[in-house]
Chain A
Amino acid sequence: MIASGDATLFAIVRLSLAVSLAAVALSAVIGMPLGAALALLRFPGRAAVVICLNALMGLPPVVVGLAVYLLLSRSGPLGSLGLLFTPSAMVIAQTLLIVPIIAALTRQTIEDLWVEYRDEMAAMAVGPVGRIATLLWDARISLLTALLAGFGRAAAEVGAVMIVGGNIDGFTRTMTTAVALETSKGNLPLALGLGLILLGIVLAINAAAWAMRAWSERLGV
């Protein structure tokens, strides 16, 4: 089925990747500055924020789905936008799911590097903007790994996209929701095909993360 290039199957894969990649891009824009700020700023209640952020990494997708559903449903506060059961709703839900992951990993990375670089940058009279730029650049490999972790989580989750997307054929059906549906219908070949592709994607992401680590260690960066 994979080899024959089934059109339905590839439409599903395309939508899944598009939604998850959009969510990762959005989460990077929100999560990385948030994490960097949390790493460098000192304010009352900071410890509580860090603990909450770390805890949110394990947010159950169905809970995020439910929250976004309530927000976007016809009678909800953002119901007038008519986003429920669209790919946009799925991007929003996955973004909420992975912003904590990317922000928490960014905070940890930047904070560790800051402790190491602080004195040296002060001795070289590096200004505040230069400091942030230096930390982000020198942490680039770890930050890319954080993005990959976020993408892996987004691509593999089923609960949130199922609730806010509705698993509508040809419109909001993703790999994970299709596997759930086809399995319950007894259409095992399609479910298995999608499952294999999903597995391949997750495997490829982890291989990429591993290769990047190995490469950066060899370069000593």
Chain B
Amino acid sequence: MRAPATDLPLVLDRVSLQAGATVILDQISLAIVQGPPTLIVGPNGSGKTSLLRLCLGLVQPTTGRISWGGRTDAAPLRRALVFQRPVMLRRSVAANVDYALSHAGIARGGRPERIDDLLERVGLSALAARPARRLSGGEQQRLALARALARDPEILLLDEPTASLDPAATRAVEDIVLMAAQSGIKVVMSSHDLGQVRRLAGDVIFLVHGRLRERSRAIDFLETPATPEAAAFVRGELVL
């Protein structure tokens, strides 16, 4: 089922993104390789969402180059993105997953089994027939995760998936993300929650005002931050 081509490593080479005169991302160079989850942290407006969109191939950099496993064509073959506010298709929960599977190239005959399996993984089996837009925020986020996992991704990108969720819903989403990471999927997730960094991160990308200020192992980032902004962030102060 898996395509032979790989999307890893994901390499950004001096990537900048501008909207008009505004610089959103400024000369970012980094490589994302197989391993535990990478968390992109930083204050609002630091460019986290734009970085994820670039990583998926949804937007093109203004300057610089992105490559996935050495390829520069942007088709998101083995990448999936869960948006901060995912859009539910006007269909049932199961039909949402079916849609994702069909556009991931899964033949109709193989889908019912995969739908059951994916809904099981995100704990939505009991709600399969419910209209997706009737789900709670946490349930919608889990359905978005099921749709993303339907693409059988090598890289799973998540944009602050727990930003507006309560602790129980956050826990449910984090459990699914950890399970995905343990099954060998490279998780890249943005967050501005220090606790989430402690719970999930293998390594950290720290962005401030569109600049890459720090790239380190999570433990180093949390214990010996190299920049004053990172130190302030880790102390729980407001980084503006």
Chain A positions within 8 Å of B, measured between CB atoms, are 116-117, 119-120, 122-126, 130, 134, 138, 219-221
B89-A138 in contact (CB<8A): yes
- Assuming the contacts A124-B103, A134-B89, asked whether A119 and B58 have C-beta atoms less than 8 A apart, the reply is yes
Residues of A near B151 (CB, < 8 A) are: 124
B103-A126 in contact (CB<8A): yes
Contacts A119-B58, A219-B131 supplied; 9 other A-B pairs, CB < 8 Å: A117-B89, A123-B76, A123-B80, A124-B100, A125-B77, A126-B103, A138-B91, A220-B131, A220-B134
A134 to B95, CA, bound (A): 12
User: Distance in Å from the Cβ of B99 to the closest Cβ of chain A?
Assistant: 8
- Assuming the contacts A123-B76, A130-B103, asked whether A221 and B133 have C-beta atoms less than 8 A apart, the reply is yes
Residues of B near A126 (CB, < 8 A) are: 103
10 contacts between A and B (CB under 8 A): A119-B58, A123-B83, A124-B104, A125-B77, A134-B89, A134-B99, A138-B89, A220-B90, A221-B90, A221-B91
Any A CB within 8 A of the CB of B86: yes
Which residue of B58, B75, B103, B133 has the most chain A CB atoms within 10 A of its CB atom? B103
Which residue of A116, A123, A221 has the most chain B CB atoms within 10 A of its CB atom? A123
A107 to B239, CA, bound (A): 44
Residues of B near A116 (CB, < 8 A) are: 87
User: Distance in Å from the Cβ of A111 to the closest Cβ of chain B?
Assistant: 15
Q: Which B residues from 93 to 109 make CB contacts under 8 A with A? A: 99-100, 103-104
Residues of A near B89 (CB, < 8 A) are: 117, 120, 134, 138
Closest A residue to B147 using CB positions: A124
Residues of A near B83 (CB, < 8 A) are: 119-120, 123
B87-A122 in contact (CB<8A): no
B90-A125 in contact (CB<8A): no
A124 to B58, CA, bound (A): 10
| Proximity bits, B132-147, A CB within 8 Å = 1, else 0 | 1110000000000001
B58-A122 in contact (CB<8A): yes
Closest B residue to A221 using CB positions: B90
Partner of B90, one of A119, A122, A130, A138: A138
Any A CB within 8 A of the CB of B230: no
B133-A123 in contact (CB<8A): no
Q: How large is the interface on B (under 10, 10 to 19, 20 to 34, 35 or more residues)?
A: 20 to 34
Any A CB within 8 A of the CB of B15: no
Closest B residue to A140 using CB positions: B90
Chain B positions within 8 Å of A, measured between CB atoms, are 56, 58, 75-77, 80-81, 83, 86-87, 89-91, 99-100, 103-104, 131-134, 147, 151
User: Distance in Å from the Cβ of B11 to the closest Cβ of chain A?
Assistant: 20
User: Distance in Å from the Cβ of B100 to the closest Cβ of chain A?
Assistant: 6
Closest A residue to B135 using CB positions: A220
Residues of A near B104 (CB, < 8 A) are: 124-125
Residues of B near A219 (CB, < 8 A) are: 131
A32 to B197, CA, bound (A): 49
B103-A220 in contact (CB<8A): no
A130 to B87, CA, bound (A): 17
Residues of A near B100 (CB, < 8 A) are: 124
A204 to B152, CA, bound (A): 49
B131-A221 in contact (CB<8A): yes
A130 to B100, CA, bound (A): 12
User: Distance in Å from the Cβ of A121 to the closest Cβ of chain B?
Assistant: 8
A73 to B136, CA, bound (A): 62
Residues of A near B103 (CB, < 8 A) are: 124-126, 130
Which residue of A116, A122, A124, A221 has the most chain B CB atoms within 10 A of its CB atom? A124
Residues of B near A120 (CB, < 8 A) are: 83, 86-87, 89
